[in-house]
Amino acid sequence: MIERLAELGFSSQEARVYLALLQHPSATGYEVAKSAGLQRANVYQVLSGLTDRGVVDRVSDGTPARFVAHPPAAVLGRIKRQTAERADSLIADLAAVAAPREQAGFFSLRDRETVIDRAASLVADARSRVAVCAWADDLEWLAPGLRAAAQSGRQVVINVFGETEIDFAEVYRHEAPDRTVGGQLLMLAVDFGTALVASLDEPVGAVVTEHPALVGLVEKVIRDEAYLAAIYERFGDQLEDEFGAHLVRLRTRLLPPDRAEELISLVGFGATDDAVADILSTEEQA
């Protein structure tokens, strides 16, 4: 907790004194110093600073003086509001002096934590709509932000690969990840204006863009996945009669040879399927 308070602007000594007063209300400076493990001379200076900042109150002018800590909700709530106000003001000021960004620009992200942070930030900043394609495992960290977006009136569309319990969005369910080819991909589109595409297999990498053509492409892929899931749910038997399990006869015509072979092995087709064998034979000759 001392480290986390330090992240919000407390010095190490201030954090120790504040925690000590929360645990021992109406304590004297001597008692605070003993509880916090600090020298008494330093504690009185820290108490004076915290009193000036409205974190601590002096409740007795007698000898010795006694102090109480303001409730955490009041102290941290004020810090939260002030930080948000400063950030909003700085965003506006920096935007005013920043050179116009090129429409074609995009940002690369290189590690999993950075991808997760950026995706969560995009969802939190959404104004009208969030659309996503993700594995069920990734919805474990995406779901809280998506739920908050839905509860605040934003449209939330989710294509999910695998089993998950989602009750707050338009959900289109696809096959389990172990029945897919292409690796662990995440696609996210926000407000028809920003898109993130990530490969979450090692080495993790992602791009974020606001280019209209690229955002439109990601939006189209997400919509097409939703269309396919809805159509497959209604007409799955007829589609598999025509194209094989998981549409293998159709998909292998368009996949790279190594991915086509991977799909065939996942679906369980062998060389006995003439249509699939012909496709592989043609690819090998090419």
277 compared with 173, residue with greater pLDDT: 173
The answer to whether the CB of 142 falls within 8 A of the CB of 132 is: yes
Span 77-98, pLDDT tens digits: 999 999 999 999 999 899 889 8
Span 44-67, pLDDT tens digits: 899 999 999 899 998 877 778 898
Instruction: Look at residue 132 in the predicted model and tell me its pLDDT.
Output: 96
**pTM for this prediction:** 0.62
The answer to whether the CB of 182 falls within 8 A of the CB of 262 is: no
Burial 36-75 (b: 16+ CB within 10 A, else e): bebeeeebbebbeebeeeebbeeeeeeeeebbbbbeeeeb
The answer to whether the CB of 142 falls within 8 A of the CB of 164 is: no
Q: For helices 29-36 and 40-52, what crossing angle results, to 10°? A: 110
The answer to whether the CB of 103 falls within 8 A of the CB of 212 is: yes
**Considering all CA atoms of the chain, what is the largest pairwise distance in Å, rounded to the nearest integer?**
96
Q: What DSSP string runs through 253-268?
A: TTS-HHHHHHHHHHHT
The answer to whether the CB of 210 falls within 8 A of the CB of 194 is: yes
Instruction: Kindly provide the residue ranges of all beta strands, DSSP E only, lying in the chain, ordered along the sequence.
Output: 27-28, 56-60, 66-69, 106-109, 129-135, 155-161, 170-174, 185-190, 194-199, 205-209
User: Which single residue is written with the structure tokens 């474990």?
Assistant: 140
| Calpha distance 168→186 (Å, rounded) | 20
Span 11-46, pLDDT tens digits: 999 999 999 999 998 888 889 898 888 888 889 899
Would the pLDDT of 273 be above 70? Answer: no
